[in-house]
Amino acid sequence: MKRFLPVSVFLILAFAGCFTEYVYITTCAYKNQTDKSISFTWHSHDARHSLTEDTVFIIPPQGSHALKFGAEGHYPLPFCGDHMSPNPGDSIVVSNGEKQVIHKFYPPDPETNNLYQIKTYTLVQKRKRHITFEYIFTDTDFADTEPSAPMEPHSAPE
């Protein structure tokens, strides 16, 4: 029994780090190049998520806000990371106080700039296990959209 102990210890130490999954981070930076504040609300039908400063925020004119998503072993897509999987009823509502755009996870509309789709973003930086995408809101995002309800009186996190 004693002669198997060194072999067992060696095998445990030899293979202890072989199955490590690295965490990959995707950062999505949202920039506002309009003259109005933009309200951003992510509605998730997953009971594990609640509305937080990362899912409800206001981007002031010429301001920005970034969200980070993490996953083990791969780069996550926007709003899809470990313990995050969009449901067919999930949506992102973006409003400039006068008009709003509703981005739906399902069914995806290939003709629009849907914030759930990676093709909508511009890759701005790629490092080891961390990529950064950017989306710039302009007045064209709100052209041909329906009027929205007034923005709720809350401020962006500091």
Residue 81 within any structural domain of the chain: yes
What mean pLDDT is predicted for residues 56-84? 80
What mean pLDDT is predicted for residues 60-77? 86
Residue 52 within any structural domain of the chain: yes
Residue 132 within any structural domain of the chain: yes
What mean pLDDT is predicted for residues 10-39? 79
Residue 84 within any structural domain of the chain: yes
Residue 88 within any structural domain of the chain: yes
Quote the pTM value.
0.72
Pick the residue with more confidence: 146 or 149?
A: 146
Residue 104 within any structural domain of the chain: yes
User: What pLDDT is recorded for position 3?
Assistant: 60
* Domain count along the chain: 1
Q: Is the pLDDT of residue 154 over 80?
A: no
Sequence-distant contacts of 82-90: CB under 8 A, at least 24 apart: 83/48, 84/46, 84/48, 84/49, 85/46, 86/44, 86/46, 86/116, 87/44, 87/45, 87/46, 89/45, 90/42, 90/43, 90/44, 90/45, 90/46, 90/116
Q: Is the pLDDT of residue 79 over 80?
A: no
Pick the residue with more confidence: 123 or 145?
A: 123
Q: Is the pLDDT of residue 82 over 60?
A: no
Residue 154 within any structural domain of the chain: no
CATH of the domain at 46: 2.60.130
pLDDT-based confidence at residue 53 (cuts at 50, 70, 90) = very low
User: What pLDDT is recorded for position 38?
Assistant: 96
Q: How many CB atoms lie within 10 A of CB 30?
A: 21
Q: Is the pLDDT of residue 149 over 60?
A: no
Average predicted confidence (pLDDT) for the chain? 76
Residue 103 within any structural domain of the chain: yes
User: What pLDDT is recorded for position 136?
Assistant: 96
pLDDT-based confidence at residue 10 (cuts at 50, 70, 90) = low
The contacts of residue 54 (CB under 8 Å, 6+ apart) are 67
- Domain coverage including residue 55: 19-142
